[in-house]
Structure 1
Amino acid sequence: MGIYLNPDNDGFWRATHSEIYVDKTGLIEYTNKCLNTEQQYICVSRPRRFGKSMALKMLAAYYSRGCDSRELFMGYKIEETESFHEHLNKYDVIFLNMQQFLIEKRGRDVIEYLEQEVLEELLENYGNLLTKPVVGMAAMLRKIYAKTKKKFIFLIDEWDCVMRERQESEEMQKQYLDFLRNLLKDQSYVALAYMTGILPVKKYGVHSALNMFSEYSMIDQFVFEEYTGFTEKEVAALCEQFRMDCSETESWYDGYLFTEFRHIYNPKSVVEAMRRHKFSSYWTTTETYDA
């Protein structure tokens, strides 16, 4: 297991062993259906504190060859599906947190730093297959796939942080989008690419770099509705468990109205209210309003 290549399941383990965990593993049944299809490019855009990073940790725990997560998923919804064992810990996973790379680059080019870090782990695992040096992640992944026929799953958190935090640098933004396009678009080694962010991909459609992604935003979550936040049924169960008033919980945290799941609650706020046994504006205290 590595930091970026085939991470372990520690993040999801912590989530499932926390005081409150709401089962959202049904999402995996959908991503399993998307593997190696035209729907394999998924971008989920939501505000902060709506479980985006948690979903990525769950997907990493399920797909990564770097761990054995069979027991970790026992008793959850995904275990009941036909595809559970077929894909469990069967893929090479590359997990990228773009916020981390942007913070740690320390004057270096962010793409150069990212590639350096990931290439190091790829060489540790697959260096014996290469007969000569390879420049760039995409080139190396093509070589690896040609030799092994093993496909990769890409999980990218905060994909849009470069766009949000480097708004003044159009050159950096273009370089970054070109990097993502070259890494992911029309590459035989991609089995699934799942990105999360705050801003919609279509905002940057002028570059046509990421037009292969299907986007699921707060105005159209499609099959992701019940995984966007806590559903009415889930909140009712928590209110009963923690002896909190359902009506007041709804008045505080029932913030989104979708097509199938009519009431979707902010997870961060509900969890804090249950744990503290007190209603308050927990979500607005976690970030600035423009984050």
Structure 2
Amino acid sequence: MSTNFKHIPYGIADFKQVRNEHLYLVDKTIFFEKMEKAGHFLFLVRPRRFGKSLFLDMLETYYDINEKDNFQELFNGLYVADHPTPEQGEFQVLHLDFSLVGSDLDNLYENFNRYLSQRCLLFAKKYAAYYPDDFLEYMEKEKTGMGMLNLIHGVSHDLDLKLYLIVDEYDNFTNNVLNVKGQQAYHELTHGTGFYRDIFKLFKPMFDRIIMLGVSPITLDDLTSGYNIALNMSLDARFNQMLGFSEKDVREMIRYYKAVGAIGEDKTEDDIITDIKPWYDNYCFSRRSFATDPKMFNCDMVCYYMSTLVDTGYRPDDLVDPNTMTDYGKLKRLIEIDNMEESRLQIIHEIAEKGFIYGTLVSHFPAERIMDYDNFVSLLYYYGMLTIGGVRGESLKLIIPNNNVRIQYYHYMLDEYQTINALPVTDLRNAYDSAALDGDWRPLIEFICKAYHDTTAVRQLIEGERNLQGFMNAYLTLTNYYQVAPEMEFAHGYCDFFLLPNYLTYPMVAHSYILELKYLKTDATEAEAAKQWDGAVEQIKTYAADRKLQSMLHGTQLHAIVIQIKGYDLVKYDEIRNCQKTK
């Protein structure tokens, strides 16, 4: 295998580094001309780890007047090299990343002022040749970042210089304030004479073009009167594919590394797509795009997988990038803002148990209205915890996009259950060993059902059929042996759970499972229980015989298990045999 190939820029957000080191790049420059035509003041919300920072750094390089002579060298081979826009290389660019302000919320103004002052001084030094000789001296005398902005504004305006503002993570520290300090502290920052609001008032009259990216529209709404955004691109079909990778992009990446010999012959293009698609794919960012555009992959996740595969020859043992656990922490804090989480918890439970929820996406809303149903559902969408999965009249069917996100929901629920009734998770993992390797499934089912009984006995909150499904989901996802697929369609019906063997990572797994879970109310009669059981047996026989299911077993022995719960007691469970005749 040749080592002279483009490496994957996982975790790299420096465009010039990507080009100078000849790293692999998916071309997104076709969107530059679309952005220019869309307006001068643009705003975009996308989930974390969708390539926002690298895209903005590429945008800075493209418009930077200091890089005008390097344009062909840096952008050679990309769409924009052959289709430059009228304003290429025409701007002095101020690039701010508010995630770098710091996490010390008690000294937020001081940290923000320090960061803004540093960026303004770097700007003045970078473009000193365009300003009077004493400009930098005057900048250094200013004591605040806002004072420096005002000075840049005044002098650049007198000299008729064009300025471009790029803001990455515009809502980073404001979201931290909201999540940690609560709504009162957040309101003081973004309303009235709050310093962040004052900064925003300077932006529009000062800059000829502005692009701001973040993960939430809340701060935007609360700053609207201070800064009037011309176009929110977040739900605009024209920009649905601007960030993230399409399946075409991913397949082209795989083919490149196959062609240079960086991926072995034992791993086909379709094998890799099949492996990553359930975990990283399925994002849609516009109602109009749902029926026409390809769904988008989380690009950072794809790079995580591909860099591991190319560097080691093996896929990652854990398909969930460990960095996403920081996003899980943010979800928890979001739900628990100001200790008013009950209604939000109900929404989380509904999504986790059903896999979807109906709602309307709201383009922006104030923090004090986060409790409103559509607003909270929209916020989950903007965070990447939901995506557009269908259209139903005026409403959207918002679905959990993939397994990576589904696991975050289940971890939240598991934490909740463990708070109610702490359980020995190590014992559960031992039970999974027995089920996956030996086909001894009874300890696993008994453990989870006992956990359900003990937790429900403490707190009646989770009793009920749908809550039982959510509880099972949370505990079934504690293994890496299987991909847990709830409500998978087989033979024109929906199997409650399919434990799909994760055969690429754990080829030693010899047993797979389908589970049919039945719930009885506490006052159900024996006759009702028997009728329900017989129906479940017929259902699971039909599922087990389905051709699609049989093709997914990868040589493992299938066990068809029916479980019957009455109230919160396990009353019957058994394996249904002789039901694998192919239709």
**Bin of the TM-score, shorter chain as denominator length:** 0.7 to 0.9
Aligned partner of 1:30 in structure 2 is: 34
Aligned partner of 1:112 in structure 2 is: 113
Report the TM-score, using the length of structure 1 for normalisation.
0.80
Partners of 2:243 and 2:118 in 1: CA distance: 31
Query: For residues 5-44 of structure 1, what are the structure 2 equivalents within 5 Å?
Result: 11-16=14-19, 17=21, 19-34=23-38, 39-44=39-44
Equivalent residue letter for 2:117: Q
Query: For residues 46-195 of structure 1, what are the structure 2 equivalents within 5 Å?
Result: 46-67=46-67, 68-83=70-85, 86-102=86-102, 107=107, 109-121=110-122, 124=125, 125=128, 126=131, 128=133, 136-167=147-178, 168=181, 169=185, 170-174=187-191, 175-185=194-204, 187=205, 189-195=206-212
Partners of 2:14 and 2:103 in 1: CA distance: 21
Aligned partner of 1:263 in structure 2 is: 295
Partners of 2:243 and 2:120 in 1: CA distance: 33
Aligned partner of 1:250 in structure 2 is: 277
How many residues align? The count is 272
CA contact (8 A) 1:60 1:95 kept: yes
Distance 1:206 1:268, change over 3 A: closer
Distance 1:123 1:57, change over 3 A: closer
Two-structure CA RMSD over aligned residues (Å): 3.0
Equivalent residue letter for 1:262: P
Q: Which runs of 5+ in 2 are unaligned?
A: 1-12, 258-267, 310-314, 331-583
RCO (CA 8 Å, sep 6+): is it higher in 1 or 2? 1
Which entry has the higher C-alpha Rg, 1 or 2? 2
Q: How much identity, in percent, do the aligned residues show?
A: 21
Query: For residues 162-241 of structure 1, what are the structure 2 equivalents within 5 Å?
Result: 162-167=173-178, 168=181, 169=185, 170-174=187-191, 175-185=194-204, 187=205, 189-201=206-218, 204-205=221-222, 208-217=225-234, 220-241=235-256
Distance 1:251 1:33, change over 3 A: same
Match of 1:289, SS state, is helix
Partners of 1:28 and 1:266 in 2: CA distance: 21
Match of 1:95, SS state, is strand
CA contact (8 A) 2:43 2:229 kept: no
Partners of 1:95 and 1:200 in 2: CA distance: 20
Partners of 2:43 and 2:223 in 1: CA distance: 17
Q: Which runs of 5+ in 1 are unaligned?
A: 1-9
The one-character-per-residue Cα deviations of 1:81-110 (angstroms, maximum 9, x if unpaired) are: 152xx4332210001111212359994624
Report the TM-score, using the length of structure 2 for normalisation.
0.42
The offset of 1:213, in angstroms, is 4.3
The one-character-per-residue Cα deviations of 1:241-286 (angstroms, maximum 9, x if unpaired) are: 3444233332332121351423111101112222223264344643
Partners of 1:96 and 1:206 in 2: CA distance: 17
